[in-house]
Amino acid sequence: MREPDPTGGHRRAACTRSAEHVRSGAIPPNRRTAAPRSADVAANRYVVMDRRSSGSQVAAYIRGMIFSGALRQGDHVRQDEIAETLGMSRIPVREAIITLDHEGWVTNEPHRGAFVHGLDENSVRDHYALLGMLYGLAALRATERGDDEGVARLRVAARELREASGPEDVFHANEAFLRQIFAMARSSRLASLGRLMTGIIPGNFFELVPGTIAAQKTGITTIARAIRDHDGSRASTAFVSLLDGQGERVVALLAARKILWVPDPTAEL
């Protein structure tokens, strides 16, 4: 575990450098969050953020710092410096810390502050396994509850995803496909859980994680065909397999960046 920097000098610079335009992970639908643009952070200029969702934007900003390696396991998350860098009060920063503590990104210690828990191999794999099970259930319910019109729309969405040429187009086509799955599932509970699943990758998933575009196109095609054939079990299994594979690609990326740690099996949670 790295010791916190008592001077805060290099951490302040890291805060400024990592204030970039990001979007939350590309897999969950409707989880896009705006964040500060790098052009606004030059030469000691404050970043002005949308106050309507500033807490969630700060959370996305801190996730981005952890993902980029600017903050590592054991580092002190200096709330005053983040508030100053982003040009806001500490209130949305505290809100973000509470959210990140609940998500497992940081540990908030009384009278000491928040420290990075970071990304561990088991949690990353479990995150994508949970996504696979959630989307797999949604696909099963979509098969059971969807009508011919819904299936036709799903096939169009799958075709548009297959034909998408770049990460940005794939991102939007993938969201459209997932929205149609949840619409066909007709379950507010499943839709709510889908919105709650924040992404690990703080940006365009398909742009940042190598190999994910081809895998997503293949997997979505299999899922769409299974739903067309009224085979909900096959669609569900395909979703689980797709997300397991995407999770392994994320693990490989984070390991290559040296920002992934392996939990000690003897340590207490």
Q: Judge whether residue 260 has pLDDT over 50.
A: yes
Indicate the SS3 state at residue 92: helix
- Count of structural domains within the chain: 2
- Of the three residues 83, 117, 151, the one that is the final residue of a domain is 117
- When pLDDT is cut at 50, 70 and 90, the band that residue 150 belongs to is very high
Range of 99's domain?
9-117
- Answer whether residue 42 shows pLDDT above 60: no
How far apart (Å, rounded) are the C-alpha atoms in residues 25 and 63? 11
Interaxial angle between packed helices 90-103 and 54-68, expressed in degrees from 0 to 180 and rounded to the nearest 10: 60
- Asked if residue 153 has pLDDT above 80, the reply is yes
Percent over 70 (pLDDT), the chain? 77
User: 268 falls in which pLDDT band (50, 70, 90)?
Assistant: low
For residue 57, count CB atoms less than 10 angstroms from its CB and return exposed for 0-12, middle for 13-18, buried for 19 or more.
buried
CB count, 10 Å around CB of 191? 18
The answer to whether 148 and 3 are in contact (CB under 8 A) is no
- Mean pLDDT (whole number) for 166-180: 97
pTM of the model: 0.74
Nearest to 185 by CA among 136, 142, 137, 150: 142
Q: Give the tokens for residue 168.
A: 């940005």
Q: 214 and 242 share a domain?
A: yes
Which has the minimum average pLDDT: 59-73, 165-179, 183-197, 222-236? Answer: 59-73
Q: Are residues 14 and 138 in the same domain?
A: no
Residue 188 CB contacts under 8 Å (≥ 6 apart), including other chains = none
Q: What is the mean pLDDT of the chain?
A: 82
Q: Do β-strands 106-109 and 113-116 pair in parallel, antiparallel, or remain unpaired?
A: antiparallel
Do the beta carbons of residue 209 and residue 250 sit within 8 Å?
A: yes
Please indicate, yes or no, if residue 264 is contained in any of the structural domains: no
CA 115 to chain centre: 20
Does residue 67 lie in a domain region? yes
